[in-house]
Structure 1
Amino acid sequence: MSASSSTVVPPPMMIDWTELPLELTSLILLRLGAVEILENAQKVCTQWRSISKDPSIWRKIDMRDLGNRKKGDLDFGILCRHAVDRSQGGLLEINFGAFATDELITYVAERSRNLTSLGLGRFFKCVTKAGFMKAIEKLPFLETFELAHSGIILDLKAVGHACPRLKTLKINSLGLLAYIFSINSDDDDYALGIAEAMPQLRHLQLIGDRITANGLKAILDGCPHLEHLDLRKCFNINLAGNLEKQYLGGDQSA
């Protein structure tokens, strides 16, 4: 071979996905979202479809990871119900993303009484306060609740009583400030509900809330186990004196 001859590159190694060990295949499926498993992965072969029906695959359902799909491409309500059914009551964590409805939340709550984590986001007319509260009352073991950019104002006192084990609460109200200003006359509604009914909280996030210094003090007094507090974009709080010390952890008796 002459010095000017090009180097021969061997062809890339081809992987036969159907011959992978069952344990490795399960790990691969666990890294995929519910939509990807139901729409693609389970169609690879008989073995993958069989593994995709294992309830252990469905202890966590995340409907947020939708790739480039648009809302009109698939019926996410039907897909979510399929995923919940496959969990056979073993579902522990679910995040609906933007596709929650009263009916869908109720469907999950009635079949997943051991649920520990619930995430909702970017819904407006599809979820009502009454519908949500009816469902949340069926989830006494809930430890984490996340709500982002919703169109409803919740009764957090009632949520706390329904979910006495709640340790993490994240509420992002950004993008809906005008809406909240128009219907919520009491700046500290959320804060007082949290302070009164969520004594086990460790992590609290209230982004864009209308909480005031009084509400913050109520939370610090009512949630003695609080480890992390995120109050970004909460512009009604003016820290001063003992409240600032208590917020910074320097004076727990304030």
Structure 2
Amino acid sequence: MENTFCSGRRWEEMGLDVLVKIFLSLNIIELTSGVSRVCSSWRLACCDPVIWKIIDFGVMKSNYIKIPAPPYIWVADTSDKFVMRTLKIAMGLSRGNCSCLIIPLDLYLKDAQLIYIAERSPHLKQLVLPTWNRITKSGICAAVRNWKELESLTMPSIRDPPYFLDEIARSCKNFTQLKIMGHFDVLFASTIAERLPNLKVLSLRCSLLYKEALDIILDNLEHLKVLNISHSFLVEKPPPPATKRILRQLDESIRVKASRLRIFLTCQDEFCVLCQRMITDDGYLRWYKYEKRLWMKDEV
């Protein structure tokens, strides 16, 4: 009887389109851990723009310790070196093709790391960067100057919003979508109304939200089409000496103003898990206590 055998194709001979589909299933750690160094065809597939359209660092985190003074966290030097190594490989393979960048809550970048990313992602359109503990004013502004095409941003609440929103207004002419995580007061609302009058989408989901700030947004952002205040801790600050009070229901005046919007999302349901958590956390949701990546979800 004649011996027969089946000769299969070698891995390096596999079609690039098949390799790209396989590599799309890998996370950022797997992609930067040596896949591109297997052979020339694997490297070519690793550099395909489709793989790097969205760069999600969600599987990474800083090795940090909370401290009582600013920036309120301390990050180990070994953690910074590992993050920088991963950034260098990822940005090298992406070849400037990244249009969406996602940085998780517990990955604390510093100026040099953020600017390194910015200089190598000139076509970025969406940035998710919810924590700025180690990023300075000059650092975030220097990064934004590289993102002329930026349209959408997720950011934390900051005490001095004018300096940053001024930079967004100067550098990002197509900017229309903003999500703020945390405290949203009158200063923040006034700054948005003045610097970003063409804003179309605003999410204040799970924020401590002042009614006066909400009024400013609804009164002044004529181009706003979508507003999400779901699960927000709505408070009103009456004249002194009275203290702020929680509003359990939306004022009718707010509903009337919001009726012009295409989408107005709200939730103040006593049976809603997120609404209950906002009350438990006194309006400042401790995301680290809950399901991983819950912070990324949004009704918008």
TM-score (norm 2): 0.62
Q: Percent identity?
A: 26
In structure 2, the CA distance between the partners of 1:31 and 1:221, relative to structure 1 (3 Å rule), is farther
Deviations 1:147-201 (A, max 9, x none): 25x777543531441323222211212xxxxxx6xxxxx9312211222222332
Deviations 1:103-123 (A, max 9, x none): 122122223222111111344
Distance 1:154 1:17 in 2: 52
1:129 equivalenced with 2:140 (yes/no): no
2:219 counterpart (218, 221, 225):
221
**Matched residues, number:** 223
1:166 counterpart (169, 175, 182):
175
Partner of 1:242: 253
SS in 2 for 1:94: strand
SS in 2 for 1:75: helix
Per-residue deviation, 1:248 = 4.0
2:125 counterpart (109, 116, 120):
116
Distance 1:17 1:58 in 2: 22
In structure 2, the CA distance between the partners of 1:171 and 1:187, relative to structure 1 (3 Å rule), is closer
Within-5 A mapping of 1:30-109: 30-39=24-33, 41-42=35-36, 46-66=40-60, 71=63, 75-97=82-104, 98-109=107-118
Question: What is the one-letter code of the residue matched to 2:233?
Answer: C
Per-residue deviation, 1:144 = 0.9
1:193 equivalenced with 2:191 (yes/no): yes
SS in 2 for 1:147: strand
**Aligned 8 A contact 1:158 1:197 in 2:** yes
**Aligned 8 A contact 2:47 2:95 in 1:** no
Distance 2:33 2:51 in 1: 15
Question: What is the one-letter code of the residue matched to 1:165?
Answer: N
Cα root mean square deviation, aligned: 3.3
**Aligned 8 A contact 2:152 2:177 in 1:** yes
Task: Return 5+ residue gaps in structure 2 as ranges.
Answer: 1-7, 64-77, 237-246, 262-300
Question: What is the one-letter code of the residue matched to 1:245?
Answer: V
SS in 2 for 1:121: coil
Distance 2:26 2:34 in 1: 10
Task: Return 5+ residue gaps in structure 1 as ranges.
Answer: 1-13, 174-179, 181-185
Per-residue deviation, 1:208 = 4.7
SS in 1 for 2:235: coil
In structure 2, the CA distance between the partners of 1:244 and 1:160, relative to structure 1 (3 Å rule), is farther
Question: What is the one-letter code of the residue matched to 1:84?
Answer: M
